[in-house]
Amino acid sequence: MNTLQNVSLFAVLMLVLSACLQAKPALIPSPPQVSAKSYILMDATSGEIIVEHNSSEQLPPASLTKMMTAYIVESEVAQGNINLFDEVPVSVKAWKTGGSKMFIKEGTKVLLEDLLKGVIIQSGNDASIALAEYVAGSEGAFADIMNQQAAVLGMRGSYFKNATGLPDEEHQSTAFDLAILARAIINDFPEQYALYSEKYFTYNNIRQPNRNRLLWRDKSVDGLKTGHTEAAGYCLVASAERDGMRLISVVMGTNSEDARARETQKLLNYGFRYYETHALYDAGHALTNARIWSGASDEVSMGVADQVVVTIPRGQKSELQAQMDIEPVIKAPLSVGDELGRLVVKLDDKIIVNEPLVALNSVEEGSFFKRIWDWIKLFFMSLFA
């Protein structure tokens, strides 16, 4: 692909993205020292990784597993396969399961909505198994669905053996994968995400608190999930929003409840203090027009198919540089979404955006005489080029 025309609108974009005044260099300190086996800090909107350490190391996720359990249940509800007001039967297996409990009773039926709260707020192993059996028929079959869903989300380092996170040598995930899952929970089912911020849930006259201490310490934190087993240590996936910017933090393998909250707070504070997120281009918005040959019309509008969002060091937006690389000769017919070039945005010579420029409108072939005339013009243009 050849780099070509700098159209007038491109100049406007350059003015927006690259201020005339020279910005001061970003003063970004080293990331904080975090006492955890593995951790990551990700922007929930752009997916940009701000800080990470051993984020692809496979570790036991403990009850962080229940994020996937809840995600699948929320997905089934959204598709209309199950309903929040369904009455779910409680099996002997669910009732007998050890560890953290919602305290449901074998032989009874419990509202699906209450079970979902029991999973998210109380981290109930019994509620997790009851939901798994209701959705898939058995916990083993539900684990198959969990692994299929993990593959769809791109969680390549995860393998699930159960719906609870109870110890199993093959049951593993990574900080990176859990950040991807948290991002999916937040973005795909925002109406259910509010459950992750609830501090208490009472069932069977037993009131239990959410184990995420940051819900009490930091008003910007509104989720997601804690986990603990002897093998996993103390783990926490948290999300917070400040001034329109949302971050996701994952810490795995800390040594106490207080430590997982403290180390998470370090990451969140660092990200919010030194980074910012900007939406640069909206999906479907025309960025430029390009010449079309042999078409019923002579121009096609071009833009990006998905919103372009970047997370960059605070105060560096004026240093962004945008460039559009467009195909030198574009011929009809064209369909909406056809790739016609690339949009490249750089910061300090580092490419941070490289997205396709696509056709925003279709262009049919022109008449026979129009095609011949354009062929003649292209022929002579190539001779003089």
Q: Is 63 a catalytic residue?
A: yes
**What token pair was written down for 288?**
């430029």
Q: Is 197 a catalytic residue?
A: no
DSSP 8-state assignment for residue 26: P
**What token pair was written down for 83?**
């309903």
Q: Is 138 a catalytic residue?
A: no
| Structure-token match 């910012």, residue found | 276
DSSP 8-state assignment for residue 173: B
Residue in 123, 173, 239, 249 annotated catalytic: 123
Residue in 55, 63, 100, 249 annotated catalytic: 63
Residue in 66, 117, 266, 317 annotated catalytic: 66
**What token pair was written down for 230?**
């002897």
| Structure-token match 């184990």, residue found | 211
Instruction: Tell me which amino acid residue 272 is.
Output: F
Asked if 54 and 175 touch (Cβ cutoff 8 Å), the reply is: yes
Q: Give alpha helix (H) positions in the chain.
A: 8-17, 66-78, 92-96, 112-120, 125-136, 139-153, 175-188, 190-193, 214-217, 257-274, 368-384
Angle (CA) 146 150 154, round 5°:
175
Residues carrying an active site annotation: 63, 66, 123
